[in-house]
Amino acid sequence: MNNAKVSNSANISTSFSGAGFKGAGFRGPWTLLKKELLRFWRVAFQTVAAPVITALLYLLIFAHVLAGHVQVYNGVPYTEFLIPGLIMMSVLQNAFANSSSSLIQSKVMGNLVFVLLTPLTHFQFFVAFLCAAIIRGLVVGLCIYLVAMWFVDIHIANPLLVFAFALLGSALLGTFGIIAGIWADRFDQMAAFQNFIIMPLSFLSGVFYSIHSLPPFWQKLSQLNPFFYMIDGFRYGFFGKGDVSPLTSLCIVGVSLLVLALITLKMLKSGYKLRA
């Protein structure tokens, strides 16, 4: 018995020596991404269908009430102007919602420990949550686009620009969602993030109007809002015109993303709020 035990433990030690171990490889972060995707897909009614309905309600109501009253770009009807803004706003809000709600739920439920116990690096953790947020944002955006096509004839002038802004915008908000998810300890703190940062910034970003229609002071203020550049750049891709140059918007969004990503990676690496 004793001998058998010794030889067996020798077996384990060679098979589990960890020699040549190269981390969880590609499969580790891929599994985390897959889990995050399934998590929102299982409740797609709430995570995809609901935001699509909300965006369509905005479209129907605002288009009906404001068409003819609001002057936007020359030659662009208000309803057509509104659609890219609504799509992008939903992309941004849902990218944020995905990473932030997943993290806060796992923290409150306590099941985040299952991920923290694994060999996943802080970078792999970041990439998995980020990609899931991007995909959720893009899926919601695409659904709104497809449904809106039934009502309005939408033409896209520069698809590459549309995709670039959707990608960078959802990445930026997905990253911000990770920061919020790590920082918040309770659901009400997360709600404060949503209600006092995400909602005002997205509503005051020019989704429903061109900032050129604003008084100079509010124009200047809008230009400090990063959401404005994401919406404007995205809209530029549709119409080939916007309030500012798409290159400026691209740079601002890109730099913001870089800064937030570095902050997030630093938080994750230090174990801030996750590893005491």
For other proteins, the binding residues (CB under 8 A) are 4-6, 8-13, 16-18, 21, 23-25, 27-28, 30-32, 34-35, 38-39, 42-43, 106, 109-111, 113-121, 271, 275-276
Q: Distance from first CA to last CA of the chain, Å, rounded? A: 43
CA dihedral for 239, 241, 242, 244, sign (positive or negative): positive
Our CB check for other proteins shows the closer of 19 and 224 to be 19
Query: How far is the C-alpha of 123 from the C-alpha of 218, rounded, in Å?
Result: 39
Q: How far is the CB of 95 from other proteins (least distance, A)?
A: 19
Our CB check for other proteins shows the closer of 224 and 276 to be 276
Q: How far is the CB of 116 from other proteins (least distance, A)?
A: 6
Query: How far is the C-alpha of 100 from the C-alpha of 148, rounded, in Å?
Result: 28
Q: Would you state the structure tokens that stand for residue 154, as one six-digit string?
A: 């939408």
Of 103, 131, 128, the C-alpha closest to 274 is 103
Q: How far is the CB of 46 from other proteins (least distance, A)?
A: 12
Our CB check for other proteins shows the closer of 55 and 115 to be 115
CA dihedral for 179, 185, 188, 192, sign (positive or negative): negative
Rounded to whole angstroms, what are the CA distances from 8 to 13, 19, 193? 9, 18, 54
Our CB check for other proteins shows the closer of 118 and 194 to be 118
Our CB check for other proteins shows the closer of 121 and 194 to be 121
Query: How far is the C-alpha of 273 from the C-alpha of 276, rounded, in Å?
Result: 6
Our CB check for other proteins shows the closer of 9 and 71 to be 9
Q: How far is the CB of 31 from other proteins (least distance, A)?
A: 3
| Amino acid letter, 59 | L
Our CB check for other proteins shows the closer of 121 and 158 to be 121
Query: How far is the C-alpha of 208 from the C-alpha of 267, rounded, in Å?
Result: 35
Q: Residue 108's CB: how many other CB atoms inside 10 A? A: 14
Our CB check for other proteins shows the closer of 181 and 246 to be 181
Q: How far is the CB of 132 from other proteins (least distance, A)?
A: 13
Q: How far is the CB of 248 from other proteins (least distance, A)?
A: 41
Q: How far is the CB of 100 from other proteins (least distance, A)?
A: 16
Residue at token pair 């970041």: 126
Of 247, 245, 231, the C-alpha closest to 88 is 231
Q: How far is the CB of 2 from other proteins (least distance, A)?
A: 10
Give, as one character, the DSSP assignment of residue 73: S
